[in-house]
């Protein structure tokens, strides 16, 4: 689950905007009340059915009694809603996910009135989005700017139509009259909201422009399946909402549906007949003789899964072949539609999820994977129609998959332990380094030595603390060695005691070597440091001043997170500096990768700006297309390696989301820092393939499709305009 968005910083401009929008709530309510009365009166005049006339007349009467309170409370309700949306826990409704959003699982918890309430809300939101589309698109760019975002975040706009719809629905639910009166009022009033919002948005835009607020832009995103560039909502783009409000059902997935799911449902001509009321009747068991409805819903669910282009074609064919067995099951067991843990749904989900491990039919291990599935699925008896049959097949497949998964888990666990050990040591080393830099005498020590002390030697000291070997008999005193090191490079002290310096140097070098051996520091880098240290000591012995700014041969650029060689090997750690176009790897299975990718060599730990000849990560990842914060454990990505995309699964992220571990189907591990992750995304070398449930998404797509059809039919049932 994505973390809750943080509360935004308040400003005078934002407070003024909230006040202006709340104040205009009174005008919105006046307009809605007037239009609702006129619409109801017109319907009464045009209706010959006495019962219908009487029902609408009761709505008019109830509305007249409730109008004063609704006028007074609407601005207050809006202000509370705006404030809530700006906090760190905005109330997210199903409307936020798209104009026709509804979850399949919600149907079981709703009664008929709640179903109709949701239809009215969705219809009102769709109408509002259509009526105020241009104004809202521009408003999003300015509101996102004053909220402090560097790109448009329409879902964080506290003045978006969803907020108004929710506030209005709340007032209607508390108005005079019974539930039937409230339902009819809602059916008329909510769809009228859009026309009233347009002038409000125009005034808010005028206010922001007077304040000289500069807009931010809409971000360009790559699709999950191909990495090709695509934009967020584009002004004037025809949407399912506009199709529906224009009097045409919109057969296809809802707004916000992942790219890979666009194929299945859109091809179903019969989909235009399914409604939310029918789905509700099916899930609640209130529909007698539902065979035809069951068949239609199962076909749509399967179409949603098999239309997902992220699933390889042979796997889609196998899933499509389960249709007879699923149809028989659903006729006998309606729990298939309501129970997420139903064996048949779990089987479909795990078939899809395990297939994501393979980027193509030519991928290593895919033929064996496919053969195991075919051999096992053939055991499904279409005539049985029992959940136990699906459960037996699922258990067998899990047993087959578990053998490879156990090996993979062992390698993952070793990698996670290596990363956790490195993380703990790095955190402690950073604290030690900060303490060293704060010491008064440090300013008199050459940079080279300070960097060494705050980098590799801080790691040595941290490792000793972790192992509990500080101040223990027979253990070296690393603090004393550091004091000796600092003294030995200060000519103002050593020139007075050259004999003491000559005697100290061999002991000092031996102590440094032993300490660095404890963390398996690379001997080449140690020797490089010792060579430069020798030059400093020689200057001290010769009486040459060694100023702190003395220029020495620089070491290689250093990473922010350091791993020992065996830790880098076990976790497949990727260097977070990126000196070349393609990153280094230390794979647990080196044969998986070309020979030109040597194992990552750990570097020093100097926390300072380094010129690597590349754009700074902060700017490169200012608007990341994919954030580690939103990548779910178990999600699949592709990493560009040697010109080829390699499929990897997110296996672990540390608590602070600064280190992550990915694993391939073959068991090789690849870890990286957050900096490296952002760099690869920004350079289009890492892209999202799939995350989250496939089957649940297919169920929800059917519910959203039914919602659009219900809205369409609700529009068709309106009396013709005068």
- Tens-digit pLDDT profile for residues 489-512: 888 787 778 888 888 888 898 989
Distance CA 46, CA 466 (A): 83
* 697 φ/ψ angles, rounded to the nearest 5 degrees: -65, -35
**Does residue 534 register a pLDDT over 70?**
yes
What is the average pLDDT score of the chain?
A: 79
635: left (phi over 0), alpha (psi -120 to 50) or beta: beta
DSSP 389-430: HHHHHHHHHHHHHHHHHHHHHHHHHHHHHHHHHHHHHHHHHH
What pLDDT, in 10s, does the model give residues 610-627? 333 333 333 333 334 688
Enclosing H/E stretch for 309: none
Predicted TM-score (pTM) of this structure: 0.71
Q: What is the pLDDT of residue 413?
A: 81
447 and 535 together in one domain: yes
296 and 388 together in one domain: yes
226 found inside a domain: no
**Does residue 404 register a pLDDT over 90?**
no
79 and 148 together in one domain: yes
Distance CA 294, CA 597 (A): 54
269 and 371 together in one domain: yes
Max mean pLDDT range (205-214, 257-266, 473-482, 597-606): 205-214
Of 148-162, 266-280, 697-711, where does mean pLDDT reach its minimum?
A: 266-280
397 and 289 together in one domain: yes
What pLDDT, in 10s, does the model give residues 452-490? 999 889 988 988 888 887 877 778 888 888 888 998 888
Q: What is the pLDDT of residue 127?
A: 84
Q: If we measure between CA atoms, which residue out of 484, 494, 509, 486 comes closest to residue 540?
A: 494
Q: Which residue has the tokens 């390699």?
A: 646
Tokens of 227: 């990495």
Last residue of a domain, one of 219, 235, 270: 219
Q: Percentage of residues in the chain with pLDDT exceeding 90?
A: 31
What pLDDT, in 10s, does the model give residues 407-416? 778 877 888 8
Distance CA 96, CA 84 (A): 14
Distance CA 508, CA 484 (A): 7
Confidence of residue 655 (pLDDT cuts 50, 70, 90): confident
Mean pLDDT of 301-315: 94
Distance CA 275, CA 242 (A): 18
81 found inside a domain: yes
What pLDDT, in 10s, does the model give residues 235-251? 333 344 444 444 444 44
Q: Which residue has the tokens 């449930």?
A: 693
520 and 629 together in one domain: no
303 and 382 together in one domain: yes
- ∠ CA 337-343-345, rounded to 5°: 50
570 found inside a domain: yes
**Does residue 70 register a pLDDT over 90?**
yes
247 found inside a domain: no
Beta bridge partners of 661: 652, 671
**Does residue 564 register a pLDDT over 80?**
no
Tokens of 678: 């952002």
Q: What is the pLDDT of residue 351?
A: 95
Q: What is the pLDDT of residue 254?
A: 36
Confidence of residue 607 (pLDDT cuts 50, 70, 90): very low
Strand, helix or coil for residue 652: strand
181 and 283 together in one domain: no
270 and 141 together in one domain: no
Mean pLDDT of 47-70: 90
**Does residue 687 register a pLDDT over 80?**
yes
Q: Which domain holds residue 36?
A: 12-219
Q: What is the pLDDT of residue 601?
A: 32
Q: What is the pLDDT of residue 28?
A: 93
Mean pLDDT of 674-700: 91
Q: If we measure between CA atoms, which residue out of 128, 146, 127 comes closest to residue 136?
A: 128
Enclosing H/E stretch for 641: strand 636-641
419 found inside a domain: no
391 and 510 together in one domain: no
Q: If we measure between CA atoms, which residue out of 355, 288, 354, 351 comes closest to residue 319?
A: 351
16 and 149 together in one domain: yes
496 found inside a domain: yes
CA count, 13 A, side-chain hemisphere, 129: 29
718 found inside a domain: no
Max mean pLDDT range (254-263, 311-320, 441-450): 311-320
What pLDDT, in 10s, does the model give residues 347-389? 999 999 999 999 999 998 899 999 999 999 998 887 777 889 9
Confidence of residue 659 (pLDDT cuts 50, 70, 90): confident
184 found inside a domain: yes
Cβ contacts of 560 within 8 Å, gap of 6 or more: 576, 605, 607, 673, 675
**Does residue 544 register a pLDDT over 60?**
no
Max mean pLDDT range (21-35, 434-448, 649-663): 21-35
Beta bridge partners of 638: 647, 687
Of 64-73, 84-93, 306-315, 402-411, where does mean pLDDT reach its minimum?
A: 84-93
298 and 194 together in one domain: no
DSSP 116-149: HHHHHHHHHHHHHHHHTHHHHHHHHHHHHHHTT-
Strand, helix or coil for residue 673: strand
User: Total structural domains in the chain?
Assistant: 4
**Does residue 553 register a pLDDT over 70?**
no
Q: What is the pLDDT of residue 561?
A: 72
Q: Which residue has the tokens 């499709």?
A: 705
Q: What is the pLDDT of residue 575?
A: 65
Q: Which residue has the tokens 């389960």?
A: 322
| 8 A C-beta contact, residue 705 and residue 265 | yes
Distance CA 152, CA 669 (A): 36
Strand, helix or coil for residue 594: coil
Q: Which residue has the higher pLDDT, 262 or 29?
A: 29
| 8 A C-beta contact, residue 131 and residue 32 | no
């Amino acid at each position: 689950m994505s973390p809750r968005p943080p509360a935004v910083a308040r400003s005078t401009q934002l407070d003024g905007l909230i006040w202006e929008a709340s104040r205009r709530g009174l005008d919105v309510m006046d307009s809605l009340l007037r239009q609702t009365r006129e619409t109801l009166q017109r319907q009464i005049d045009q209706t010959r059915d006495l019962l219908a006339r009487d029902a609408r007349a009761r709505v008019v009467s109830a509305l007249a009694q409730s109008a004063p309170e609704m006028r007074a409370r609407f601005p207050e309700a809006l202000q509370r809603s705006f404030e809530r949306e700006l906090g760190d826990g905005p109330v997210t409704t199903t409307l936020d996910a798209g104009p026709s959003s509804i979850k399949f699982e919600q149907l079981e918890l709703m009664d008929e009135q709640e179903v109709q309430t949701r239809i009215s809300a969705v219809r009102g939101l769709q109408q509002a989005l259509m009526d105020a589309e241009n104004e809202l698109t521009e408003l999003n760019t300015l509101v996102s700017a004053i909220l402090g975002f560097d790109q448009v975040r329409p879902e964080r706009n506290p003045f978006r139509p969803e907020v108004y719809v929710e506030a209005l629905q709340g007032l209607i639910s508390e108005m005079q009259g019974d539930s039937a009166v409230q339902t009819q009022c809602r059916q008329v009033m909510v769809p009228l909201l859009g026309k009233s919002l347009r002038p409000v948005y125009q005034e808010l835009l005028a206010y922001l422009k007077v304040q000289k607020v500069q807009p931010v832009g809409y971000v360009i995103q790559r699709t999950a399946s191909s990495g090709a560039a695509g934009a967020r909502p584009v002004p004037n783009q025809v949407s399912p909402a506009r199709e529906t409000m224009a009097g045409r059902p919109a057969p296809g997935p809802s707004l916000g549906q992942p790219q890979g799911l666009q194929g299945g449902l859109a091809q179903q001509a019969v989909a235009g007949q399914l409604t939310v009321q029918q789905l509700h009747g099916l899930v609640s068991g209130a529909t007698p003789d539902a065979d035809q409805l069951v068949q239609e819903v199962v076909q749509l669910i399967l179409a949603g899964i098999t239309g997902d282009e992220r699933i390889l074609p042979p796997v889609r064919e196998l899933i499509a072949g389960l249709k007879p067995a699923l149809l028989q099951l659903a006729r006998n067991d309606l729990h298939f539609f309501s129970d997420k843990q139903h064996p048949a749904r779990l089987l479909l989900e795990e078939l899809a999820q395990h297939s994501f491990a393979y980027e193509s039919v030519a991928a290593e291990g895919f033929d064996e994977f496919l053969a195991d599935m075919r051999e096992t699925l053939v055991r499904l008896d279409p005539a049985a129609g029992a959940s136990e049959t699906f459960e037996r097949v699922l258990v067998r497949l899990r047993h087959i998959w578990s053998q490879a998964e156990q090996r993979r888990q062992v390698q993952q666990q070793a990698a996670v332990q290596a990363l956790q050990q490195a993380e703990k040591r790095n955190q402690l080393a950073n604290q030690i380094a900060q303490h060293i830099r704060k010491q008064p005498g440090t300013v008199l020590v050459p940079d080279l030595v300070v960097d060494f002390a705050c980098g590799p030697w801080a790691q040595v000291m941290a490792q000793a603390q972790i192992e509990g070997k500080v101040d223990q008999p027979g253990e070296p005193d690393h603090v004393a060695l550091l004091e000796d090191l600092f003294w030995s490079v200060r000519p103002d002290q050593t020139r007075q005691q050259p004999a003491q310096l000559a005697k100290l140097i061999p002991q000092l070098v031996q102590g440094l070597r032993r300490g660095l051996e404890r963390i398996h520091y690379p001997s080449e880098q140690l020797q490089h440091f010792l060579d430069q240290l020798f030059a400093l000591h020689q200057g001290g012995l010769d009486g040459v001043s060694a100023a702190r700014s003395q220029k020495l041969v620089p070491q290689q650029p250093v990473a922010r997170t350091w791993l020992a060689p065996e830790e880098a090997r076990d976790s497949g750690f990727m260097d977070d500096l990126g000196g070349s176009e393609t990153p280094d790897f230390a794979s647990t299975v080196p044969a998986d990768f070309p020979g030109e990718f040597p194992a990552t060599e750990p570097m020093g730990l100097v926390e300072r700006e380094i010129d690597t000849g590349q754009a700074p990560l902060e700017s490169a990842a200012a608007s990341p297309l994919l954030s580690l914060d939103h990548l779910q454990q178990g999600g699949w990505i592709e990493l560009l390696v040697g010109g080829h995309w390699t499929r990897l699964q997110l296996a672990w992220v540390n608590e602070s989301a600064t280190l992550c571990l990915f694993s391939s189907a073959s068991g090789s591990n690849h870890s990286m820092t957050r900096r490296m992750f952002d760099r690869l995304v920004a350079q289009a070398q890492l892209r999202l393939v799939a995350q989250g449930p496939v089957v649940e998404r297919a169920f929800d797509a059917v519910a959203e499709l039914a919602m659009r059809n219900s809205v369409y039919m609700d529009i068709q049932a309106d009396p013709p305009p005068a």
